[in-house]
Amino acid sequence: MGRIICCGLGPGDPDLMSVRADRTVRAASHVAYFRKKGRPGQARRIVEGMLAPDVTEYPMEYPVTTEIAFDSVEYVQLLAGFHDEWAERLARLSRAVDVVVLCEGDPYFYGSFMHLHTRLQGRVEIEVIAGIPGMVGCWNGVGQPIALGDDVTTVLMGTLAEDELERHMRDSDALVVMKTGRNLAKVRRALSSAGRLDDAWLVERGTMPGERVVRLAEVDGGDCPYFAIVLVHGKGRHPDAAE
């Protein structure tokens, strides 16, 4: 009986992978990972050069990402079918061998593996290896403390409605906005209404090749890559409140 090992790979730079993840990836004989059709996949890219020469790879290609609305019935059905199918394939495979599923960042933190985890839990032995979340790599790239003292930190998804975003932005000190991508213009308007735009940073592809760190107010255009995060740093209780 094999296991499914979901391996958190950290934010992008392979040097930021844990020792356990490094060891697991190098020893793997069967490796699965998500990717957009026609692209190599971020998780696969992180482990480039680390896989054994005789490894068997299972790219799990999303049937859609942004081609149709993510809240449409069709999108939900397509993704549910896709996740069902891969959960079955991995369950079958893991009867004979260990399968390593690659996951960017930390698997339990908005990771795509959660959709397989809910389908496989209790049926197959699962191990999840912790990884540094993408947002940690991003705030490291800005080079300032994200939160200190009594700061409340809120993690938001850019896919939320504009009024929801604005409400949370007003109520929190430090902010992390993930899934910015095509939602960047909306995130920007919400920050502006909440009076936080001038303090916001945009980090594209944090710790990955092509990383870009800029003040959001200085960005032209309303679009950015899917792998991008907006940050607003907390200011702490008072200027010297760092603990």
Question: What residue ranges bind ligand SAM (CB under 6 A)?
Answer: 11-12, 104-106, 109-112, 133-134, 137-138, 178-180, 203, 205-208, 226-229
The binder of 79, among ligand SAM, ligand PQ2, none, by C-beta within 5 to 8 A per type, is: ligand PQ2
Name the residue nearer to ligand SAM (CB basis): 12 or 234. 12
Instruction: Quote the least distance from Cβ 195 to ligand PQ2, whole Å.
Output: 25
**Per rule CB under 6 A, is residue 36 in the interface with ligand PQ2?**
yes
Q: Give the end-to-end CA distance of the chain in Å, rounded to a whole number.
A: 48
Q: How many CB atoms lie within 10 A of CB 46?
A: 25
Among ligand SAM, ligand PQ2, none, what binds residue 234 when CB lies within 5 to 8 Å by partner kind? Answer: none
Give the one entry of ligand PQ2, ligand SAM, none that residue 133 binds, where binding means its C-beta sits below a cut-off of 5 to 8 angstroms depending on kind.
ligand SAM
177 near ligand PQ2, rule: CB under 6 A:
no
Select from ligand SAM, ligand PQ2, none the partner in contact with residue 41, using the beta carbon and a kind-dependent cut-off of 5 to 8 Å.
Answer: ligand PQ2
Residue 110 interacts with ligand PQ2 (CB under 6 A)?
yes
Give 206 or 234: the residue with its C-beta nearer to ligand SAM.
206
Give strand pairing partners of 7: 102, 129
The residue among 105 and 236 lying less far from ligand SAM, judged by its C-beta, is 105
* Residues in touch with ligand PQ2 (CB under 6 A): 34-36, 39, 41-43, 65-66, 70, 79, 104, 110-112, 115, 159, 179, 181-183, 225-226
